[in-house]
Amino acid sequence: MSEPRLPPVRIIGGEILSDRRLLIDGAFVEGDGPPRDVIEPSTGEVHVSWPDASSAQVAQAVEAAARAFPAWRDRTQDERSAALRAIADDIVSLRGELAVALTHETGRALSRNGLYVDMAAAVFRQYAELARVDSGRVTPANDPGQLSFVQRVPYGVVAALVPFNYPLLLLTFKVAPALAVGNTVVVKPAPETPLSLQILAEVFSRHLPAGVINTVRGGAEVGEALVSHPAVDLVAFTGSTAVGQKIAAACAATGKATHLELGGKDPALVFADTDPELAAEAVVWAAFLNAGQVCTSTERVYVHEAIYDRFVDAAVRITEKLRVGDPFDAATQVGPMRTAAGRDKVLRHLQAAREAGADVLVGGEPLDRPGFFLAPAVVTGVDHSMDLMREETFGPVMPVMPFRDEDEAFSLAADTPYGLGVSLYTQTSRLVERALRELQVGTVWVNDPVVDNLAAPLGGMRASGNASELGPEGLDSFTRPRRVHWNLDLVRKDWWFREE
C-alpha cells in the first residue's frame, strides 16, 4: 500500500510558504540562479524545478551569518539550548511530512525515513544539553596569583555542505552542534535533495534570530562560492574523498578550517568461529542498506575459507529474496539508487570486474521499470586488482573474497587508502584487539554492523576525513581551543627588560 505524495505548498504555523524559497537573513527569497530539476529516483521524473542561488545570494547569506554571529555567540547557553529544543519539538511534529519529503528525494523506504526524523530530533536535543555541560577546562597555573584555563570558542560562520544520501540526518550532525556552541551557519544541500531542508528552513525561521542560519541551493558553482567566501571560518563537508580533497586544498590556501567526513571502502572480516548464515544476514544488511549508498556501507567482504561456501550460499539466498521497489510501499526493503550517474558507476565497476574474471551470482542489473533501480548483487572471483575492491562503489554490490588465515585477512582489510570503518564477525577477543591495534579506521563494529550511537563519534582517518560527528567529540569539532593566562595583578617579572 503506497502513501500519499508530497504537496507542492505547505502550511506551517498558519502561513503559506513557497517551497522554492531560500532563507537568507531571516527572510524567504526566490533563488536568482538558473532553474534546477529535482528528479525523483523512484520514477525518473521531475518532482519539482527550483531556481538555484546566485553567487550574489551566496555572499548575502554568508554576510548575514557574519553579522548575526556576535549576538548569537553572546546569547546565554540557556537561550541557545532552548532554541534547539524548540527546533527538535517542531521536527517531531512534522515527522510525517519530513519522512515523505525524504522518501521523494532519496528513494529510501518511507518506514526507515520516519526513524531518521526521530534521530534528527534527538540530535538537536542532545546538543542542547551537551553544550550546557562543558565549555573548557581549568589548567594548573605556573605560579600563585595566576589563573590558567582553556576555553572552547565557536569558529564564527560555518559553511555546512550536506550530501544526498542522508540529507536530513547529516545536516543535523553539523547544524545542531554548530548552533549549540554559538556559531552561525550557511547550509547548502546536495542539488538532488533540497526538499527536507526546505521544511527545516521554515522551522529554523521560527526559532532562530535572522541570519543565524541561512540556506542556499545549487551545484558545484554555488558550493565553490560558499567555500571560498572570506567570511566563512569553517567548512563542514560530508561527501566524496575527491571533492573533500579539493575543498581541503582551497581552504589550505587561506588557512581556513575544515571538518571533512569523506568516503570509505569498508571491509567486513568474517572469521571461522562465526555462524556463516547469521553473519551473511548481517553483511547483506550492511551492504544493501539505503541501496548501498552509505559511507559506512560494507563494500568488501573477506570470509575464512572454511566457511566461505556456506556464507556465499546464504548471502545469495537472502539477496534473491530482497524486495526491491517503490519506497512508498510498506513491503519494500531496497529502493532505487539516487541518481542515474551513481547507478552507471556501479554498472561500470561490475562490468570491469566481470571482464577481469569475477562472477556475479545474483543481481547486478537495472530493473525494468522507471527510476534508478538496481538489483542488489553478490559477486565472487574478485581480487584487489579490480576497482570493485579498491574504489568506493557506493551502490548495492557485495563482493566476497576468501582468506586463509588472520594475517591475510588483516592485510587485505588494510590494503586501502580509506579509513572509515571495519566490521568483524568473531567470538575471539584477540582478533578484536588486533583490529583495534592495527587498522587505521574511525569505527570498529563487532558482530553488529553500521550502527550509529549518538553518544559516540562518527568519523574517519586517512582518505576518509579529519572530523568527528556525534557525541561530545562532535560538539568539540565546532569549537577551537583558546588558552587564557591571567596574572591577577601586574607584578614585575625578573626576566622582563627594564631600565638599568
Give 442's contacts (C-beta < 8 A, 6+ positions apart).
419, 420, 421, 457, 458, 459, 460, 461, 464, 465, 468
Give the three cell numbers for residue 218.
Answer: 545549487
Q: How far apart are CA 382 and CA 299, in angstroms?
A: 12
To the nearest 10°, report the CA torsion of 154, 127, 295, 417: 50
Q: Which residues pair with 154 in a beta bridge?
A: 479
Q: Which of 105, 192, 202, 261 is catalytic?
A: 261
97-to-4, 144, 385, 499 alpha-carbon distances in Å: 10, 60, 46, 74
Parallel, antiparallel or unpaired: strands 421-425 and 397-403: unpaired
Of residues 293, 294, 266, 299, the one with CA closest to residue 461: 266
CA distances from 378 to 176, 209, 234, 357, 358 (A): 38, 51, 41, 14, 10
Residues 422-441, buried b or exposed e (16+ Cβ, 10 A)?
A: bbbbbeeeebeebbeeebeb
Residue with cell string 536530513: 168
Q: Are 404 and 305 in contact (CB under 8 A)?
A: yes
Asked about 261 being catalytic, the answer comes back as yes
- Cα torsion 416, 420, 426, 429: sign: positive
Residue 251 falls in the annotated catalytic set: no
Q: Would you list the DSSP string of 294-335?
A: -TT-EEEEEEETTTHHHHHHHHHHHHHT--BS-TTBTT-SB-
Beta strand 443-446 pairing with 421-425: parallel
Beta carbons of 495 and 251 less than 8 angstroms apart: no
List the catalytic residues.
261, 295
